[in-house]
């Protein structure tokens, strides 16, 4: 580690310890038992990994125990529904990502929505990117848009399930650029990647880490973020190419609506300490995920805006639940 890196690590550690001390002192009556953090997907996935890294420093800040529990199924909606229905005392939180929070409630009748929760913090936000084959004729986003305008409906766009965030982002791109795609659903990045390599599809949207692990076969024509990434400084954003698009893969902590303010405040302070802890920042750096934190009020406004935007795109595509 270089001397500046060592100094930054020391400062991050000191800041995390300071916030942890403040959280513990200010909310000594909470928690009174272990806090359960619901992850709405199976163990081993990205959300689960993030939860388990975050749980440790949060537990230290709370002066208690944080236990991760996986409640998988139905695109994350079972875990989200269980979070909403839990006792509103702060001892059950959900680490809920963008899909269950902002797209799934539009696609089907669910027992929860944005009003079912109180908001604690945004815990992570990972940029996504449009991925093409290394030998693709599209060198940038405008090359692809020009071709799509000249050849309506000819480009095939792989998506990880209809109504997923990559699909919503593709709908947003089509709307912003005034073009059409044929969207083809696949069960994740792996099948989408295989389909692109064999020529069945021309592109798909994935987390930027996919670019690093498959650099010999793929490249990106646009980062769907409002700013470039330090780890990929030459990758242009869509906005820099004339199409404003920001579709991160994010997740944050929520609690059932009506959770007491003291518990929410304690959890928010613990989340901030956890997000700024060395263990969490180092893990996020390894995953090409910039540290992006929002407190409860800002996170709620963000979720509601994402919910409205994504719902509008799904409605325009005729995908809203009756």
Q: List pLDDT tens digits, range 23-70.
A: 444 456 899 999 999 999 999 988 999 999 999 999 999 999 999 999
Q: Which helix (H) or strand (E) holds 106?
A: helix 104-107
Alpha-carbon distance of 164 to 160, in angstroms, equals: 6
pLDDT of 178 reads 95
Q: What is the mean pLDDT of residues 8-14?
A: 46
Where is average pLDDT lowest: 103-112, 132-141, 165-174, 228-237?
228-237
Of 197, 214, 241, which residue is a domain's last? 241
Using 50, 70 and 90 to split pLDDT, how confident is the model at 231?
A: confident
Q: List C-alpha distances in Å: 147 to 144, 181, 233.
A: 5, 11, 26
Of 241, 274, 298, which residue is a domain's last? 241
Please count the other Cβ atoms lying within 10 Å of the Cβ belonging to residue 313.
20
Q: What is the mean pLDDT of residues 96-109?
A: 96
Burial class of residue 133 (count of CB atoms within 10 Å of its CB; 0-12, 13-18, 19+): middle
Residue 5 has pLDDT above 80, yes or no: no
Q: Spell 283-304 as b/e; 16+ CB within 10 A means b.
A: bbeebbbbebbbbbeebbebbe
Do both 143 and 198 map to the same domain? yes
**Residue found under tokens 């949060």:** 58
Do both 53 and 83 map to the same domain? yes
- The residue range of the domain holding 48 is 3-126+248-316
Do both 202 and 290 map to the same domain? no
Residue 178 lies in a domain: yes
pLDDT of 17 reads 47
Are 7 and 278 in contact, with CB atoms under 8 Å apart? no
Closest CA to 61 of 35, 90, 24: 24
Do both 119 and 228 map to the same domain? no
Do both 105 and 132 map to the same domain? no
pLDDT of 286 reads 87
Do both 10 and 42 map to the same domain? yes
User: Is the model's pTM score more than 0.85?
Assistant: yes
Do both 120 and 257 map to the same domain? yes
Q: What is the mean pLDDT of residues 182-196?
A: 93
Q: Cα torsion at 120, 126, 130, 133 (round to 10°)?
A: -150
Closest CA to 209 of 294, 142, 129: 129
User: Omega before 180 cis (within 30°)?
Assistant: no
pLDDT of 9 reads 46
Q: Give CA 182 to chain center in angstroms.
A: 25
Q: Which helix (H) or strand (E) holds 223?
A: strand 218-224
pLDDT of 28 reads 60
Are 319 and 106 in contact, with CB atoms under 8 Å apart? yes
Q: List C-alpha distances in Å: 72 to 13, 39, 40, 172, 238.
A: 33, 7, 5, 28, 33
Do both 16 and 102 map to the same domain? yes
Residue 104 has pLDDT above 60, yes or no: yes
3 state DSSP class of 192: helix
Residue 46 lies in a domain: yes
Alpha-carbon distance of 151 to 172, in angstroms, equals: 19
Of 241, 257, 275, which residue is a domain's last? 241
pLDDT in tens, 128-182: 999 999 999 999 999 999 999 999 999 999 998 889 999 999 999 999 999 999 9
More confident site: 58 or 5:
58
Q: Could you tell me the CATH number of the domain that includes residue 254?
A: 3.40.190.150
Residue 322 lies in a domain: no
Residue 321 lies in a domain: no
Alpha-carbon distance of 35 to 54, in angstroms, equals: 13
Task: Let me know how many helices (H) and strands (E) the chain has, helices first.
Answer: 12, 11
Do both 98 and 55 map to the same domain? yes
Q: Could you tell me the CATH number of the domain that includes residue 207?
A: 3.40.190.10
Q: What is the mean pLDDT of residues 190-205?
A: 96
- Packing angle, helices 278-286 and 46-62, rounded to 10: 170
Residue 52 lies in a domain: yes
Burial class of residue 261 (count of CB atoms within 10 Å of its CB; 0-12, 13-18, 19+): exposed
Total domains present in the chain: 2
Do both 132 and 122 map to the same domain? no
Do both 151 and 235 map to the same domain? yes
Do both 194 and 91 map to the same domain? no
């Amino acid at each position: 580690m270089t001397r500046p890196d060592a100094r930054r690590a020391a400062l991050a550690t000191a800041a995390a310890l300071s916030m942890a001390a403040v959280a513990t002192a200010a909310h000594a009556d909470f928690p009174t038992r272990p806090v359960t953090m619901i992850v709405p997907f199976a163990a081993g996935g990205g959300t689960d990994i993030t939860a388990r890294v975050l749980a440790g420093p949060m537990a230290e800040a709370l002066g208690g125990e944080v236990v991760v529990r996986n409640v998988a199924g139905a695109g994350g909606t079972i875990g989200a529904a269980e979070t909403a229905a839990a006792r509103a005392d702060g001892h059950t939180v959900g680490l809920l990502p963008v899909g269950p929070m902002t797209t799934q409630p539009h696609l089907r009748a669910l027992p929860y929505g944005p009003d079912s929760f109180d908001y604690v913090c945004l815990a992570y936000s990972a940029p996504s990117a449009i991925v093409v084959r290394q030998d693709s004729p599209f060198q940038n986003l405008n090359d692809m848009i020009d071709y799509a305008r000249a050849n309506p409906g000819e480009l095939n766009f792989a998506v990880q399930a209809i109504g997923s965030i990559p699909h919503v982002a593709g709908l947003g791109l089509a709307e912003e650029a005034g073009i059409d795609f044929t969207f083809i659903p696949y069960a994740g990045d792996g099948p989408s990647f295989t389909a692109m390599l064999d020529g069945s599809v021309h592109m798909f949207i994935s987390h930027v880490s996919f670019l690093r692990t498959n650099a010999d076969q793929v490249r990106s024509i646009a980062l769907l973020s409002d700013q470039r990434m330090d780890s990929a400084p030459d990758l242009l954003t869509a906005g820099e190419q004339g199409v404003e698009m920001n579709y991160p893969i994010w997740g944050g902590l929520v609690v059932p609506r009506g959770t007491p303010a003291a518990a929410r405040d304690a959890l928010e302070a613990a989340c901030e300490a956890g997000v700024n802890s060395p263990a969490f920042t180092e893990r996020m750096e390894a995953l090409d995920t910039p540290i992006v934190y929002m407190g409860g009020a800002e996170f709620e406004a963000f979720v509601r805006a994402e919910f409205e935007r994504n719902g509008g795109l799904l409605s325009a595509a005729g995908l809203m639940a009756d």
